Amino acid sequence: MALQIDIPAIVANWKALAQQAPGARAAAVVKADAYGLGAARVVPALYQAGARDFFVALAAEGRAIRPLLPDDARINVLSGHMEGEDLAGLVPVLNSAEQFFRDRTMRPGQPFAIQLDSGMNRLGMEAAEWAGLRDEALAAGPDFIMSHLACADEPDHPANAAQLAAFRAMTEGCEVPLSLAATGGILLGPDYHFDLVRPGVGLYGGLPFADARQVVRLSLPVIQLRVVQAGEFVGYGATWTAEAPRRIATVAAGYADGILRALSSSGASLYAGGVACPIVGRVSMDLITADVTALETVPAMLELICPEQPIDAVADFAGTIGYEVLTSLGGRYKRTYL
């Protein structure tokens, strides 16, 4: 099993997204181990390319990358200041009055940021809560104030303009850097850029950044080949039956490796030199079966994620999104980095 990760492509995607928001500083979102690709390799490369602002979901993720970064890099923790958390060297994004007072009591003088809820109703202070806290919070000097868009991957969705208006209203007169856009928000245009943009999935080759360079290539070893005759089935539940003699390859990876079980007989294929070999039967924990009848010779490895079938194509077949395909990629793969 080989998961190949193209670090120069991640850097190129970061630069391309930064260029789309020339008036803003471009951060890099590296939560969930850089969307499953390996923060230990991704983070130093992005720092070297010029990124100084990083976002993680959890303080533990921040502590893991802090030693990889010089002091001038800021690591922002989106879950904020949770009780008992060690935030040394990190910047919590405070999401509620409760987090604000906890943080200012425990870490007076230390850097922090604020998240406002502009309509997504997931994280951040609501307008009334913020109105009560605003003067005190601004006096304490937040690094930035941010919010997050719920529908930025749908440019025509009315929630985008509504959230933009709500964010503007809540931050009017604040002399503090502002941040609203993730990958999708960058693509919505300059109204959404403010001072700091926070691309994540686009760095790793995922939609909605359609112009992204692909980053991931996933090759899986063939363990066994057999011919099945018309009427024979393949795999658990006998869900696929050959209508004519077919050559079947059994490949060493399965849903334990993040190859979603929903890919079973979904139309997804494994690829060999550009030739599609449909996945047939159920994806099992450690194994997949594919119909390789179309191949003259079966190579040692077949590809699941490749230029012919990028992460969002795999996601479509599984009924999910590229984010889930990436973050599901398991720990059994040998990750190699270009």
Ligand X SMILES: *Cc1c(COP(=O)(O)O)cnc(C)c1O
Q: Which of 182, 263, 268, 314 binds ligand X (CB under 6 A)?
A: 182
* Interface with ligand X, residue 17, by CB under 6 A: no
Binding residue per annotation — 122?
Answer: yes
- State residue 273 phi and psi, 5-degree precision: 50, 40
Is 15 labeled as catalytic in the residue annotation? no
- State residue 2 phi and psi, 5-degree precision: -135, 120
- CA–CA separation, 254 and 154 (whole Å): 32
* Interface with ligand X, residue 79, by CB under 6 A: no
Query: Which residues from 235-254 bind ligand X, rule CB under 6 A?
Result: none
Only one of the segments 180-188, 237-245, 277-285, 328-336 lies at the binding site for ligand X (rule: CB under 6 A); that segment is 180-188
Name beta bridge partners: 209: none
- Find the DSSP H helices in 181-271: 183-188
Compare residues 78 and 305 and give the one whose CB is closer to ligand X. Answer: 78
- Taking a C-beta distance cutoff of 8 angstroms, is the pair 77, 56 a contact? yes
Structure tokens at 284: 């099992």
* Interface with ligand X, residue 198, by CB under 6 A: yes
Least distance from ligand X to the Cβ atom of residue 197, Å: 9
- CA–CA separation, 17 and 33 (whole Å): 20
Which residue, 181, 271, 296, 268, is CA-closest to 220? Answer: 271
Compare residues 35 and 47 and give the one whose CB is closer to ligand X. Answer: 35
- Taking a C-beta distance cutoff of 8 angstroms, is the pair 195, 222 a contact? no
Helix (H, G, I), strand (E, B) or coil at 323: helix
Active-site hit among 15, 236, 323, 333 = 236
Q: Which of 148, 193, 246, 282 binds ligand X (CB under 6 A)?
A: 148
Compare residues 123 and 248 and give the one whose CB is closer to ligand X. Answer: 123
Compare residues 200 and 281 and give the one whose CB is closer to ligand X. Answer: 200
- CA–CA separation, 200 and 31 (whole Å): 8
Active-site hit among 31, 35, 192, 333 = 31
Binding residue per annotation — 301?
Answer: no
Is 334 labeled as catalytic in the residue annotation? no
* Interface with ligand X, residue 260, by CB under 6 A: no
* Interface with ligand X, residue 78, by CB under 6 A: yes
Strand ranges (E), 229-311 = 233-234, 240-241, 246-251, 269-272, 275-278, 288-291, 301-305
Residues in the annotated binding site for substrate: 122, 285
Catalytic site positions: 31, 236
Question: Which residues are near ligand X by CB under 6 A?
Answer: 29, 31, 78, 148, 182-184, 198-202
Residues in the annotated binding site: 122, 285
